[in-house]
Structure 1
Amino acid sequence: MSSPSRNDERAEVPPAEPESAPDEARSAFDRGVLWCARGAAWLVFVAMVISVYEVIMRYGFDSPTSWVHESVVMLVAVSFALGGPAALASNRHIRVRVLYDTAGPHLKLWLDRFNDLVTFGFCLAMSYAAYTMFWDASHNPMGEWSLERSGTSWNPPFPALVKGVIMVALIIMCLQAFIHLIQSLRGKPAPVTPPDEEGTV
C-alpha cells in the first residue's frame, strides 16, 4: 500500500485575512474634512516636540519655559475637537449595532435616517451651545470684543481659541449630519465598517 503523498499530508493553510479597507467618506464634503484632519493630526506631534523641548530646558539647563504647558494643552484640545468631524466623515464613531446588524436592508435604511436625524439635531443644539460659550469667551459684558485669557504669567488667549475651535468643529459636524440625512432620505445607505475595525459594541 502506497504511503500518502506530501501534498495530502500538508496542513491546510488558512487564507490570509483581508487588509482593512480605507475609510469610506459619504460625500465630497466628508472627503475635504478628512483631508484637513490629516493635517490637523500633526498638532499632536508638535505638542510632543515642544514637550521634549521643555524637559530638556527644565532638567538640562535649569531654565523652564512659561509657555509649553499651556501650548500643549491647547494643541491637544484642538486635535480632540477636530477628531469629531473626522470620525463622522470616515464613519468611525462609536455606536451600539446590536439591532442594526440583525436588521434587513429596508430597516437599516430607516435606522440610518433616524440616526442621521438625531445626529443632526444633536449637533445643531451643541453648535448653539458652543456659539454662546464662544461669545462669552470673546466678548466682555458690554458686548465688546475681548478674548478670554488663561490668567497665567504668559496669559495667552487660548481658552477663547479652543472654544472657537469647538464651535467650528460642531458646525462642521452639523453640516455633515445634514448632508448624511439628505443622502439617507434619498435612499443611499451609510457605508458599513466592520465592528472589529470601528470599536463598536
Structure 2
Amino acid sequence: MPDLKETAPVEETPGAIPQAGLLGRWIDRTGLVFAAGIVVSMLVLLNEVLLRYIFNAPTIWAHETTIFLCGIAFIYGGLYCAARDRHIRVVLIYDALPRSVRRAFDIVISIICALSSAIFAWAAWLMVERAAFRPDGSFRLERSGSAWDPVFPGLVKVFLLCVLAVMAVQFLILAYNYARGRK
C-alpha cells in the first residue's frame, strides 16, 4: 500500500484552462450565476415546504421554478466543464500516451466535440422553431400548461440552443489553441 506522503498531489487549476481563451474565462466566471441558481432553488423549495406544511398555503410556482433553475444550471454545466477541461474522458489509454500524441488527441477530440455540439445546436434550433414561433412566424414562447403556466419550457429550449452554439465555438477555440501548442 503506497504511503500517502509519497503520492503526488493532484494539481487543480483554479478556473478555465489557458487553452479555453477569453471565452473560457467568461464561461468560468458566469458559472457562479448558475451555482447561485441552485441555491435559490433550494430556498424556493424550503419556502414551499414551510408554506405548505406549516401555514397550509402551498404555492403554484415553486416546483416549476425549481425545475427551471436546476435545468438551466445542468445545461450550463456542460459548457462550464468544457471550459475547465473537466468533461468525462476515458483516461486509460490517454494517460499512457506521450505528450505529443496526447496533444494530437486533444485537437481531434476538440474538433469532434465542436462538430457534435454544432449538430446538437442545429437539433436544438429545430426544437426552438416549434417552441418559440407560431406557424405564422410570430414570436411566442411555449408555456408549461400548468395552473401557473410559465414560459419555462420555451426558455429552456432557447437556452439549450445558445449553450450548444457557444460550446461549439469553445471547442473550436480549444482545438485551435491545442494546435498552436498554447499552454
The CA distance in 2 between the partners of 1:18 and 1:98, in whole Å, is: 19
The CA distance in 2 between the partners of 1:55 and 1:13, in whole Å, is: 45
1:109 to 79, 103, 110: 103
1:46 to 37, 40, 51: 40
Query: Which has the larger helix fraction?
Result: 2
The CA distance in 2 between the partners of 1:38 and 1:121, in whole Å, is: 27
Q: Give CA-to-partner distance per residue, 1:144-200, whole Å, 9 cap, x none.
A: 2111000011111110011111111111111100101111222336xxxxxxxxxxx
Q: 1:49 to 1:108 in 2, by over 3 A?
A: same
Amino acid at match of 1:163: K
- For 1:195, the equivalent position in structure 2 comes to none
What's the offset of the Cα at 1:39?
Answer: 2.1
Flag structure 1 segments of 5+ consecutive residues without an equivalent.
Answer: 1-11, 190-201
2:167 to 173, 180, 198: 173
The CA distance in 1 between the partners of 2:5 and 2:78, in whole Å, is: 38
Name which one, 1 or 2, has greater alpha-carbon Rg: 1
Q: 1:60 to 1:17 in 2, by over 3 A?
A: farther
- For 1:74, the equivalent position in structure 2 comes to 68
Q: 1:40 to 1:119 in 2, by over 3 A?
A: same
Q: Structure 1 residue 31 and structure 2 residue 31: aligned? A: no
Q: 1:104 to 1:162 in 2, by over 3 A?
A: same
- For 2:127, the equivalent position in structure 1 comes to 133
Amino acid at match of 2:76: L
Q: 1:135 to 1:54 in 2, by over 3 A?
A: same
- For 1:98, the equivalent position in structure 2 comes to 92
Q: 1:19 to 1:158 in 2, by over 3 A?
A: same
User: Where in structure 2 are the equivalents of 1:179-198 lying within 5 Å?
Assistant: 179-188=173-182
The total of aligned residue pairs comes to 178
The CA distance in 2 between the partners of 1:19 and 1:118, in whole Å, is: 28
What's the offset of the Cα at 1:103?
Answer: 1.0
What's the offset of the Cα at 1:65?
Answer: 0.4
The CA distance in 2 between the partners of 1:52 and 1:109, in whole Å, is: 47
Over the aligned positions, Cα root-mean-square deviation in angstroms equals 1.9
What's the offset of the Cα at 1:84?
Answer: 0.9
Runs of 4+ in 1 over 3 A off after TM superposition: 12-20
Q: 1:122 to 1:16 in 2, by over 3 A?
A: closer
Flag structure 2 segments of 5+ consecutive residues without an equivalent.
Answer: none
Q: Percent identity?
A: 29
The CA distance in 2 between the partners of 1:157 and 1:169, in whole Å, is: 18
Q: What's the TM-score, normalizing by structure 1?
A: 0.82
- For 1:6, the equivalent position in structure 2 comes to none
What's the offset of the Cα at 1:16?
Answer: 8.5
